[in-house]
Structure 1
Amino acid sequence: MRVVLTCMPFYSHLVPVVVPVAKALARAGHQVAVATANAMADELARAGVAHLPLPNVRTLAELMAEPAVAASPGMPDDPEGRSRAARARTDAGPLTSAFAGSLAGVFARDLIERCATWRPDLIVRECNEFGGYLAAERLGIRHAVLDIAPGSALNLTAVLDALNGEREHLGLAPVRDPWHPHRCLVAGFVPPRWYTAELPPVRCYRLDPPESAPVCAPAPGRPLVVAGLGSVAATVLPESTHLLELMVTALGRVPCSAVVGLGSDPAAWTGPRPPNVRLMAFTPQRVLLESAALLLSHGGFGGVAEAIRTATPMVVLPLFSDQPYNAATVAELGLGRRLDLDGLSAETLAEVCAEVVADDGYQRRADGMARQAQACPDLDALAADLAR
Structure 2
Amino acid sequence: MSPVMRSLLRYVPAPAWAFSPVRAWAKEMIRRSADASPESRAKLISGQAAEILARQFDALMAAAEGCDAVVACGLFPSCAAARLVAEQRGIRCILATFCPIWLPSALNRPFEYPGHPLPAGVTDNRALWDHDIRTKNALFGGAINSHRASLGLHLLDNVRDYVYGDPVLLACDPTLGPWLPSDLIDAVQTGAWILPDERPLPDGLEAFLEAGSPPVYVGFGSIAVAREAGRAAIEAVRARGRRTVIAHGWAELGPIDDRDDCFAVGDVNQQALFRRVAAVMHHGGAGTTAAAARAGAPQVVMPQIGDQPYWARRVAEVGIGAAHDGPTPTAESLSAALGTALAPETGIRAGEVASRVRADGAAVAAKRLLDLMSQP
Query: Structure 2 length as normaliser, TM-score?
Result: 0.71
Cα distance between partner residues in 2 of 1:98 and 1:294: 40
Cα distance between partner residues in 2 of 1:229 and 1:94: 28
- How many pairs align? 325
Q: Which runs of 5+ in 1 are unaligned?
A: 1-19, 34-49
Which digits, 9 at most, give the CA deviation of each residue in 1:149-174, with x for residues without a partner? 54455446543433322331213431
Of 338, 349, 361, the match for 2:334: 349
Of 212, 223, 230, the match for 1:233: 223
What is the aligned-residue RMSD (CA, Å)? 3.7
- Residue equivalent to 1:223: 214
Which aligned pairs between 1:1-388 and structure 2 lie closer than 5 A?
Answer: 25=5, 27-28=6-7, 30=8, 32-33=10-11, 50-53=12-15, 55-60=17-22, 62-63=24-25, 69=29, 71-73=31-33, 78=34, 80=35, 101-115=50-64, 118-128=65-75, 129-130=78-79, 131-153=81-103, 154-155=110-111, 157=133, 158-169=135-146, 170=148, 171-176=153-158, 178-182=160-164, 183-191=166-174, 194-197=177-180, 201-205=187-191, 207-208=193-194, 210=196, 212-213=198-199, 218=209, 222-230=213-221, 232-234=222-224, 239-263=225-249, 271-272=256-257, 274-341=259-326, 344-360=329-345, 362-374=346-358, 377-388=360-371
Which digits, 9 at most, give the CA deviation of each residue in 1:44-88, with x for residues without a partner? xxxxxx42447432224544686xx45322xxxx3x4xxx7xx98
SS in 2 for 1:373: coil
Q: Which runs of 5+ in 2 are unaligned?
A: 104-109, 112-131, 372-376
Cα distance between partner residues in 2 of 1:93 and 1:287: 41
Cα distance between partner residues in 2 of 1:311 and 1:184: 32
Cα drift, residue 308 of structure 1? 1.9
Cα distance between partner residues in 1 of 2:277 and 2:255: 26
Cα distance between partner residues in 2 of 1:94 and 1:283: 37
268-277 or 137-146, larger mean C-alpha shift: 268-277
Which digits, 9 at most, give the CA deviation of each residue in 1:164-213, with x for residues without a partner? 22331213431437344332241413225513458962322354563525
Contact 1:317 1:327 in 2 (8 A): yes
Q: 1:226 to 1:139 in 2, by over 3 A?
A: same
Cα drift, residue 289 of structure 1? 0.7
Cα distance between partner residues in 1 of 2:351 and 2:42: 35
- Residue equivalent to 1:14: none
- Residue equivalent to 1:38: none
Contact 1:224 1:292 in 2 (8 A): yes
Larger Rg: 2
Greater strand share, structure number: 1
Cα distance between partner residues in 2 of 1:371 and 1:96: 41
